[in-house]
Chain A
């Protein structure tokens, strides 16, 4: 067990973690940040996606003790109380059903929009293919990404 300091959603968080404990487990079980979801534990579904220094990463595959950089989780996106354009776009396109993939989808989309402010369909397929929506709302998610891009989704 080690005490580590993580920079999460703009604040420093001191937390205990075992050596190989995934960031996902630390977020969910030690910091109560349960917006980030467990879907497979092996980086094959994208439910656990968070942003690390602006890039989408699978937090289930990342030992927390090795993490250096700024972490943003779904809770951090609307930290100031107002929704990011991508969150608003998900609402407007109703780009979810059960919503379990939504946190991961939004974090992947936000990372994509940071890198490519006006992504093409191919960009979205390329970047987000690792995120599974079992309810099958992909068409709406793509529409939401485009909608957010039009509204200057980077924010």
Chain B
């Protein structure tokens, strides 16, 4: 049994290649870090006790492209924890908490394996001086990867503590049991706390052995709902986000933004601004910024800087989809490795044999993440060393950005990520950190920079827009015989079809110089690809005259996919629903990153105004063994709610290099009134290692909604957002 679990643990650690591919889709930054730790410093910080860590396998370290040699690799700790004399456990992870609730779910997993109460555990997260190197918090990897590692570390620590107690009592460790932060000998009627065992010791145990964590079927603490570990700090306003940090003598920064993208500075005159007392004006290359005791004064002073800029002509959003189709990045396309491309059989033969064929085009607009806490950073220079607090998903990459921007060595930079006011894939980069650090350097004082909402909507990167062409054929019995799928620009995530089809051709086409700066977004292109695929499947079902659920089941073998479709349909009462002109029902599903989902949506049509409201959603989700059921439900409900925005209304409008709707008034995000009744059906597969769930649950709502609108109105909407304009209903 143990061997079996070890194998599982090895399987769910993604290959270095897979991680890099994932990273590439999220962001384009290079990665070149490796981690060093001074264990003596850790004892200084935490006091005596026991430090237990595990190393990343050498092979992985080398393959992942980090500058390293064999000596470094041997000491390349992946994670560790410290057990103090007071029995308190401190766990170190480079991951960042942004609302996905991993501080809680990771605590549960350590608690489970180490046999200590959750309250005894503190997680130190996302601090480049203290935590092990981590590529970043993205791609739903915390649960499958960091969760597994921390369970292993904790399991190793428990084993060590039991051995220490056995030695202490001179008994066979097999007769001992770890429980509630103690090692217990029921035979001898003795117990000793972890704190007592580690008293006065400075022990470091680094394991390179394969982890042997408990199977989820044996979980007691993991696997049950746990409340957010520091929830009270949030309901009392005590939690300090980056934007809440105040440093002694701190100034507030504002940065000049040109009126359009791709602008060049023609002239800059800072004379007037420099006359304002107590204010630092920084002009360095194309950077112009001000730091002042109050944000309002910084803003006013910045307005005194006379800047002339010039921008090239740029396309507007009306020309977007045409541009994406006509400007392939051929160099990128020719790259080896496939990037999701997949061919089987012959689409031509398949199409020729088909009873019915269909060819359609789907689109997805640029959208913004709009996390409620805008990009923020507090930068402080002291004796040539730079410390920056910032809300980023990639503290180690931002550390590198800073070192490179200021030509200083990486060990002179520390990046700390306070638990952040969300990111949704939007905070991979460190521009705000670099700007704050530049201002702090110029001002000679700590500087806080918080982007305005307009900056956030304009200068943060966008979710890529995309055009997707689908061509398909079905046999007379409704079985797929041909499937051709081309995605332009939005990305290759979940581009392949989960349905059985003997002849297929699937291609991602990157685009040269896309009109807006684009990057990662929760779920990447899997949302657009599922929208296109599941809309098209619905169209095929209607073409075949088969119920959309039955049509899908007819073409599925994967039992997990079948199970979520059936579970969602059951919960929703799919078979009992009958569409009317006012009420529509739709379904869609798929899988990504080991998470399987199926979503049913009910929409109400306001025929007088051509408007749509999603009134009810039932979603089934299977991400393997569930670590924190209530936390998972929260993620799923939240993803569905957020997904309603991208499904119905969210789109960035732009022209002449300017964003035209960069305010919440003009860019509608889901609010209370948009909320449907959401029902979540968790499929808890304790036999399958847990996968992440921050992204995949967002993917079903768009196609389910489009399909529901069709069922009521016979109008097929093929562009996201669906309600870019009112429905054109016949009276």
Contacts and interface: CB of A to CB of B under 8 A. Distances in A.
Tell me what chain A mostly uses at the interface: helix, strand, loop, or mixed. Answer: loop
Contact of A97 (B100, B236, B243): B100
Interface string B667-711: 001111101011000000000000000000000000000000000
A133 B422 CA distance: 10
B235 A94 contact: no
A18 B296 contact: yes
A59 interface: no
A136 B294 contact: no
Contacts of A102: 234-235
A47 B296 contact: no
Given A98-B371, A98-B372, A98-B422, A40 B664 contact: yes
Contacts of A73: 237
Given A40-B663, A40-B664, A134-B371, A74 B237 contact: yes
For chain A, which range describes its interface: under 10, 10 to 19, 20 to 34, or 35 or more residues?
A: 35 or more
A11 interface: no
A134 B669 contact: yes
- Residue from A37, A98, A100, A128 whose CB has the most chain B CB atoms within 10 Å: A98
Contacts of B637: 136-137, 139-140
A32 to B, nearest CB: 6
Contacts of A138: 641, 670-672, 675
Interface in B638-666: 638-642, 663-665
Contacts of B238: 35, 75
A137 B372 contact: no
Contact of B295 (A25, A37, A132): A25
A94 B670 contact: no
Contacts of A140: 634, 637
Interface string A95-109: 011111111001000
A32 B246 contact: yes
Contacts of A97: 99-101, 422, 634-635, 638
B321 interface: no
B241 A100 contact: yes
Contacts of A116: none
Contact of A134 (B235, B419, B422): B422
A131 interface: yes
Contacts, number: 170
- Residue from B98, B420, B635, B637 whose CB has the most chain A CB atoms within 10 Å: B637
A100 B372 contact: yes
Contacts of B295: 25, 29
Nearest to B245: A34
Contact of A99 (B99, B246, B670): B99
B231 interface: yes
Interface residues of B, number: 58
Interface in B88-102: 98-101
Contact of A106 (B100, B235, B642, B664): B235
A6 interface: no
A119 B413 CA distance: 51
B372 A103 contact: no
B180 to A, nearest CB: 24
B681 to A, nearest CB: 15
A155 interface: no
Nearest to B99: A98
A122 to B, nearest CB: 10
Interface string B100-138: 110000000000000000000000000000000000000
Contacts of A53: none
Given A47-B372, A136-B638, A100 B421 contact: yes
B671 A42 contact: no
A124 B673 CA distance: 9
A135 B296 contact: no
Contact of B672 (A21, A44, A100, A124): A124
A39 B465 CA distance: 26
Contacts of B371: 98, 100, 134
Interface in B279-303: 294-297
A21 to B, nearest CB: 6
Nearest to B373: A100
B244 to A, nearest CB: 4
B296 A36 contact: no
A29 B672 contact: no
A135 to B, nearest CB: 5
Nearest to B642: A136
A42 B374 CA distance: 14
Interface string A72-91: 01110110000100011011
A1 B634 CA distance: 46
A59 to B, nearest CB: 13
B44 interface: no
Nearest to A40: B453
A142 interface: yes
Interface string A9-38: 000000000101100010011001111111
- Residue from B99, B100, B630 whose CB has the most chain A CB atoms within 10 Å: B99
Interface string B252-285: 1000000000000000000000000000000000
B240 interface: yes
A101 B672 contact: no
B244 A34 contact: yes
A41 interface: yes
B224 interface: no
A44 B422 contact: no
19 contacts: A21-B294, A29-B295, A32-B246, A34-B240, A35-B238, A42-B453, A45-B372, A45-B664, A96-B235, A97-B101, A98-B421, A98-B422, A131-B672, A132-B372, A134-B371, A136-B642, A137-B634, A137-B638, A138-B675
Interface of A: 18, 20-21, 25, 28-29, 32-42, 44-45, 47, 73-75, 77-78, 83, 87-88, 90-91, 94, 96-103, 106, 124-125, 128-142
